[in-house]
Each structure stands twice: as C-alpha cells, then as structure tokens.
Amino acid sequence: MAANNLITERDFAQAVVEYARATGWLVWRTWNSKHSPAGEPDLRMVRPPRVIYAELKRERGRLTPAQEQAIDLLDKCPGVETYLWKPSDWPRIEKILAQEVVVAATHTSAEFMRVNAAIQIRHPGGRPRLEIPMRRIVEALRHEGNKAAAARALGCSAAYIRKRLKEESGQL
C-alpha cells in the first residue's frame, strides 16, 4: 500500500493507458486539464460494445465538484461505464479492461443486465461513491422479480439494493 502512495497520477495514467491499449481499447487521454473543460474525465475508452469514462486519482486524491458532476451526468447515459480509479484498484482495473463482453441478442438476459448495470463500484476509500443508478436497480428488480436475483444480475448485494431503496424513499 505504501508504494501506491508514491506513484504520481501521471505515471498511473500512463500505466492504465498502456494496459488498455494492450487489451484492445481505443483510448483518449486528457494530457493537460488547463485546456479541457472543468470536470472532463482523464480517460475516454472505447472497445465495442463498451464505452468507459475513468477519472484517475492518486491514492489520497479526491474528485472536484466539477468532476463529481461530470461523473453523475455520464452515469445517466445508458451503457456508459464510469469509474474512479486509484493505484490500489489495479487488480480490478485489469479485470475490467480485460473483460470480454458478449451481449445477448435479447435484452432480457441477466448477463445483459449485468453488463449494462454501469458497473459503478464504490471505491473502498468512501466518498465520493460511484453507485449503481436507481433506474438500473428498478429495471433489474422488475426483470428479476426479487432483490436477491436483481443483486446477482447487477453484481452487488441485496443489502446494497435495500439500502438504496431506503435512501430513495427518504427513510435513511
């Protein structure tokens, strides 16, 4: 973990870009944020049928309000995956970028729901959190019929779904 604190965001970004390209992604990178709109994610990656926007931070880095807003807006776009990645996330980054996705011909399979669940994963460091959008939780509940099956389809826990439903209804 201590080594993760020493890596610069620039070196980390370069490692992610190299790995993404090695696994077949077309990558666009923000080299100098001074000439980019506020909040623009560091990486934009495409490997059909997937599109990823990733914000990269040092181990203790935090999102700016503009970055949080950009991630929230992108999160509302169907089929777009958004991530906040830090050096300690490297094993997960490798898994996400190496993952081959085969979309079924029908949009009713659990695999399709899992792929299009935005795979927003909470960063273990706490806030800011990238969460599964409520509309995707509702879609999974309708499709799967119960919280346990919806959780499996979305790649989260039933407890997470219960918590999000309580948050949405104002009970938390």
What's the CA gap between 135 and 122, in Å, rounded? 17
Q: How confident is the model over 8-32, as pLDDT tens digits?
A: 888 999 999 999 999 999 999 977 6
Instruction: List Cα–Cα distances, 139 to 57, 104, 108, 113, in angstroms.
Output: 32, 17, 11, 8
- Give the pTM: 0.58
Same domain, 68 and 113: no
Same domain, 114 and 68: no
> Would 2 be classed as within a structural domain?
yes
What's the CA gap between 99 and 106, in Å, rounded? 20
Q: How confident is the model over 40-99, as pLDDT tens digits?
A: 999 999 998 899 999 999 998 888 999 999 988 998 888 899 999 999 999 999 999 988
Same domain, 79 and 156: no
- Give the three-state DSSP class for 83: strand
User: Which amino acid is it at 129?
Assistant: R
Same domain, 2 and 56: yes
Same domain, 145 and 70: no
Same domain, 46 and 60: yes
Q: Which domain holds residue 66?
A: 1-100
DSSP 48-76: TTEEEEEEE--TT----HHHHHHHHHHHT
